[in-house]
């Protein structure tokens, strides 16, 4: 099968709207959390999140076109444009028949939930006459971001979305990886976007007891593995990766960030929202990814944990990591402590973190964790407080979603 490398990165995050700014803040251990500004939270139990700051969609999209796109698609178009530019690609000058082999797999857990809320609010506030916008459905449906990206650049290859809750964009990246290595495309734009800091989303997650309620200290609310963790911090944004067949990348002289070498997907088959208490799906996903990469556990230097700061989720994941890695002291960090939880876009932003950890030989820290939960496996090596400078050859990215979905991907330092 063909080798697949990463040649472009783009990110729009609560910690910065460029790759450089984002990575600098991640390594510095900064938090992207603050008071929610998108709606009035007075009556909500949780009043904070990790919002994207200073985003100007008109820098990426013509003002006349903006009305066609929900915010999650605007984020997708921005991140993908930056990744394509970062990869040194110019699709406008690429022959059309070459663009038959360039595709997009884009993920979102909630799609255009903001549009959905706005349109229904207007309908129920009126006299019952269905005066819906003609853009309502195309703005709302989850697959539209993938379509919008392909339309913008004239990409005729495989094009669809993946929806597996918070595992969605990791699943998209694994599917894009498989598409290229099986010879069905030469380049794939893969990633995810989320714009779910909305009343219904925050209210719904509050109702399911999933969100932190540390309204007095939002910057320290996301505290994975901590004894006093009380839920995740909702976040928004987008991340895009350009995946490319190795020979194609070399032939055009592309810079290569890293190689993707394995992906594993499985299911807890246990509960609608809760993780398996012993992390069964997580174990299977990691084992499948390692087998797919044709490596052994001691090859892996870094695990970016899903670790959302929920009581059961954090514990079950670390138990799963302990089962898979045994006595191998793999370094673990939970970067949601800084970014918050980007839901369907989490896997993509954390894949970028894994890629940059390999490129720079730096493992980002887990912040805000002061007293480790006494029920966590003792032998695990969690990077706390500050970044760890150490060689990173292989990195594994874990993502899990409501419904029991699990996805693990493995990245490797590129070697000719």
**DSSP E strand stretches across 41-163:** 48-49, 102-107, 159-162
| 4-251 and 264-407 agree in CATH topology | yes
What tokens appear for 294 in the block? 């044709």
* Average pLDDT of the residues in 104-121: 97
- Alpha-carbon span 336 to 226, nearest angstrom: 13
Query: Is residue 96 pLDDT above 90, yes or no?
Result: yes
Extents of the domains making up the chain:
4-251, 264-407
What pLDDT, in 10s, does the model give residues 14-39? 999 999 999 999 999 999 999 999 99
CATH fold group of domain 4-251: Peroxisomal Thiolase; Chain A, domain 1 (3.40.47)
166 in catalytic set: yes
Catalytic residue among 248, 306, 354, 405: 306
pLDDT given at position 273: 85
- Alpha-carbon span 280 to 414, nearest angstrom: 31
- Alpha-carbon span 399 to 166, nearest angstrom: 7
The backbone torsions φ and ψ at residue 261, rounded to the nearest 5 degrees and listed phi first, read -125, -10
pLDDT given at position 411: 99
- Alpha-carbon span 269 to 116, nearest angstrom: 30
Catalytic residue among 166, 276, 354, 405: 166
161 in catalytic set: no
Note whether 343 and 164 are within 8 A (CB): no
Inter-axis angle of helices 346-360 and 19-28, nearest 10: 80
Whose CA is closest to 5, among 178, 187, 245? 245
Query: Is residue 262 pLDDT above 90, yes or no?
Result: yes
pLDDT given at position 416: 87
pLDDT given at position 315: 95
Catalytic residue among 50, 248, 276, 341: 341
50 in catalytic set: no
* Model confidence, pTM: 0.97
* Average pLDDT of the residues in 366-370: 97
Residue with tokens 């709302």: 140
Note whether 230 and 213 are within 8 A (CB): yes
In CATH terms, 264-407 corresponds, of 1.10.10.10, 3.40.630.30, 3.40.47.10, 3.30.750.24, to 3.40.47.10
Q: How confident is the model at residue 347 (pLDDT cuts 50, 70, 90)?
A: very high
**Burial class of residue 92 (count of CB atoms within 10 Å of its CB; 0-12, 13-18, 19+):** exposed
Helix (H) or strand (E) holding 238: strand 237-245
């Amino acid at each position: 099968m063909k080798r697949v490398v990463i040649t472009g990165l783009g990110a729009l995050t609560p910690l910065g709207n460029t790759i450089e700014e984002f990575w600098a803040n991640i390594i510095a251990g900064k938090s992207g959390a603050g008071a929610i500004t998108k709606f009035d939270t007075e009556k909500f139990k949780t009043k904070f999140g990790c919002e994207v700051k200073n985003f100007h969609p008109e820098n990426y999209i013509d003002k006349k076109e903006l009305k066609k796109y929900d915010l999650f698609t605007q984020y997708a178009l921005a991140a993908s444009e930056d990744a394509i530019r970062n990869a040194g690609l110019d699709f406008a000058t690429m022959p059309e028949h070459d663009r038959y082999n360039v595709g997009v797999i884009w993920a979102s857990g909630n799609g255009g939930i903001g549009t959905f809320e706005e349109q229904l609010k207007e309908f129920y506030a009126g006299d019952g006459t269905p005066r819906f916008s003609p853009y309502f459905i195309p703005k709302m449906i989850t697959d539209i971001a993938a379509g919008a990206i392909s339309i913008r650049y004239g990409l005729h290859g495989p094009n669809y979305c993946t929806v597996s809750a918070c595992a969605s964009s990791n699943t998209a990246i694994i599917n894009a990886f498989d598409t290229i290595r099986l010879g069905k495309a030469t380049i794939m734009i893969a990633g995810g976007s989320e714009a779910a800091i909305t009343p219904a989303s925050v209210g719904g997650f509050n109702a399911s007891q999933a969100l932190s309620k540390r309204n007095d200290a939002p910057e320290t609310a996301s505290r994975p593995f901590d004894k006093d963790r009380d839920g995740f911090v909702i976040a928004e944004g987008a991340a895009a990766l350009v995946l490319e067949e190795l020979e194609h990348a070399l032939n055009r002289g592309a810079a290569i960030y890293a190689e993707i070498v394995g992906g594993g997907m499985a299911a807890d088959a246990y509960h609608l929202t809760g993780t398996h208490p012993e992390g069964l799906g997580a174990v299977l996903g990691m084992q499948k990814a390692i087998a797919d990469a044709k490596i052994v556990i001691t090859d892996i230097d870094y695990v970016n944990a899903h670790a959302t700061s929920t009581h059961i989720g954090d514990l079950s994941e670390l138990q799963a990591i302990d089962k898979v890695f045994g006595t191998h002291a793999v370094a673990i960090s939970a970067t949601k402590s800084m970014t918050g939880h980007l839901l369907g876009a989490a896997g993509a932003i954390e894949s970028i973190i894994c890629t940059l950890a390999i490129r720079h030989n730096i493992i980002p820290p887990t912040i805000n964790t002061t007293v480790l939960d006494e029920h966590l496996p003792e032998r695990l090596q969690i990077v706390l407080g500050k970044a760890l400078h150490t060689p990173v050859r292989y990195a594994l990215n874990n993502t899990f979603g409501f419904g029991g979905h699990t996805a693990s991907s493995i990245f490797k330092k590129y070697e000719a």
